[in-house]
Amino acid sequence: MQSAIETTLDIQQIRRDFPILDQQVNGRPLVYLDNAATNQKPTAVIKALTDYYEGYNANIHRGIHHLAEKATAAFEASRRAFQDFLNAKHWQEIIFTYGTTDGINLVAQTYGRQFLNEGDEIIISTMEHHSNIVPWQMLCEEKGCILKVIPVNDEGELLIDEYEKLLTERTKFVSCVHVSNSLGTINPVKTIIDKAHAVGAVVLIDGAQASSHLELDVQALDADFYVLSAHKLYGPTGMGVLYGKKELLDAMPPYRGGGEMIKEVTFAKTTYNEIPYKFEAGTPNIADVIAVKTALDYMAGLGKENIAAHENDLLQYATEQLSELDGLRIIGRATHKIGVVSFVLDGIHHQDTGVILDQQGIAVRTGHHCTQPLMQRFGIAGTTRASFAVYNTRDEIDRLVQGLRRVQKMML
C-alpha cells in the first residue's frame, strides 16, 4: 500500500470539528463521500449562524441602530473576505447571489440580453453542469444566438485543439467549468480564457467545484466572470458569489428590481444603485453571508495547499483500490483531477449500488450528476461517484471498497 502524503493536518482533530460525522447510519459509522454535492460544516460555521440570530439579527444597510450596524459590518466583512479569497481588484466586484446557478443566470439574463445578438456564438463544454447549459440555451432561443460545444476525449479531458476550431469572429461568450463535478477533471481555464479573449469574447468560469480545492486568482486568470457556491466551501447553503470585472458589471442592467438596488424611486423613473448593490435586490441571505466568512477563515487556517495534498492522497489511494475490483470501470482518468472518482459496476445499476452502500452507512452520489450530455458522451446512464473532503480518510475508502464487494456479491 502506498504511504500517505505528508501534510501538517491532524485529520482526526479536523473530524471532531464536524459534528455531523459523529453518527451512525443504519447501525454503521457514517462514511460521507458525497462532498461534490455539498460538504459538511464545521462547528465554527454553525456557531456563526446561531451567533447572528441570537445576538444581532437585523436587516442591513438601512438601519442606524446598534444591531443593524453590527450586522451590516459583518455582512460587508464577508465581501472583503471574498475579495481576498479570489484576489479581486475591487471589493465592488463581489456580488452576493444565492449560489452558482443564480450567478450564471444573472450573467446570462443581464450581460447576455444586453450585449449578445442574433447570430452571435456562445461556447460551452461537454462536461458542463446543467446550470451552465440551460441558461445559455434559453438565451439562444430568445436572442437567436448559436450554441457550440467543446468535446472531450475518452479520459474526460477537453479537446483544446477542437476548442480553437470553434472560435470565430462571431464568438462573443465562452462559459466553462473550472473543475468537472462528474469527473473531477481540472480544466485549463487560463488557456481557455486567453484563447477566447484573442477573438474578443467574454468568459465566465463556473468555480463551484474548484473553490474548495484550488488556489484561485481571478486577476491572474483574467476571468471576466467567476461564480461559486458557499455550501461547497464548508459554508451554508443558499448563498454564493459572482465575481465580475468592474467595467462589465457597471455596463450591465439590473437583474431584479426592489430594495437596495435603487438610488431613488418615483412613479416616473427609478435610478439604480452602484455595484455591487445594483445586483442585490431585497433583503439578502444575511446570516449565511456572514457565516461563510467563518468557513473561509477555517479553510485558511488549515491551508489550501494542505487540504489539496490530503485530498490528492485520497484520490490516488481510491483510484488504486477501486481499480483492483473486477468489473469496476472508472469514468474520467484525466491527468489533472481533484478528489472525485466516478465509476460503473458491470451488470449493476448505479442506483442499486447507492442503496446497498447506504445500508452500510456509506453516502455516495448516484445518477447523471446534472451532466446528462456528458453521460451520453460516455454511453452510460449515470455513475456512482465518491468525492472527498479534508475530513475523509483512507479507512473510509477501505470501507467503500468493502461495501462495493458486498454490492457485487448481492447483485451478481
Residues marked as catalytic? 370
What fold does the segment set 46-300 form as a domain?
Aspartate Aminotransferase; domain 2 (3.40.640)
Which run of H or of E encompasses 225?
strand 225-229
CA atoms within 13 A on the CB side of 301: 12
264-288 pLDDT per residue, tens? 777 888 777 788 999 998 889 999 9
Question: What is the domain partition of the chain in residue ranges?
Answer: 11-42+303-411, 46-300
User: Which of 269 and 164 is assigned the larger pLDDT?
Assistant: 164
What CA–CA distance (Å, rounded) separates 188 from 179?
A: 9
What CA–CA distance (Å, rounded) separates 341 from 339?
A: 7
Q: Cis omega before residue 135 (within 30°)?
A: no
62 pLDDT above the threshold of 90: no
Span 365-386, average pLDDT? 96
The three cell numbers locating residue 291: 457565516
pLDDT at 268: 82
pLDDT at 1: 33
SS3 170: coil
One-letter amino acid identity for 378? F
What CA–CA distance (Å, rounded) separates 288 from 103?
A: 16
pLDDT band of residue 4 (cuts 50, 70, 90) is very low
What is the assigned CATH class of domain 11-42+303-411? alpha beta
The three cell numbers locating residue 59: 436587516
pLDDT at 274: 87
75-118 pLDDT per residue, tens? 999 999 999 999 999 999 999 999 999 999 999 999 999 999 99
SS3 397: helix
pLDDT at 183: 98
What CA–CA distance (Å, rounded) separates 72 from 20?
A: 30
pLDDT at 385: 98
Terminus-to-terminus CA distance in the chain, angstroms?
Answer: 28
Span 370-383, average pLDDT? 96
Other Cβ atoms closer than 10 A to 60: 21
107-153 pLDDT per residue, tens? 999 999 999 999 999 999 999 999 999 999 999 999 999 999 999 99
- Is 18 within 8 Å of 391 (Cβ atoms)? yes
CA atoms within 13 A on the CB side of 87: 10
- Least-confidence region, from 20-29, 268-277, 357-366: 268-277
Span 246-253, average pLDDT? 96
pLDDT band of residue 7 (cuts 50, 70, 90) is low
Burial class (CB in 10 A: 0-12, 13-18, 19+), 352: middle
What CA–CA distance (Å, rounded) separates 216 from 212?
A: 9
- Is 282 within 8 Å of 258 (Cβ atoms)? yes
* Residue-averaged pLDDT of the chain: 95
pLDDT at 215: 95
196 pLDDT above the threshold of 60: yes
SS3 227: strand
Q: Go through 30-46 and write b for each residue having 16 or more CB atoms within 10 A of its CB, e for each that does not.
A: bbbbbbbeebbbbeebb
What CA–CA distance (Å, rounded) separates 81 from 216?
A: 13
Give the chain's largest Cα–Cα span. 73
3 pLDDT above the threshold of 60: no
- Is 207 within 8 Å of 226 (Cβ atoms)? yes
Residues 6+ apart with CB under 8 A from 164: 195
Closest CA to 157 of 130, 184, 129: 184
The three cell numbers locating residue 187: 480544466
pLDDT band of residue 258 (cuts 50, 70, 90) is confident
- Most confident residue range from 4-18, 269-283, 370-384: 370-384
The three cell numbers locating residue 109: 439574463
Place of cell 482518468: 333
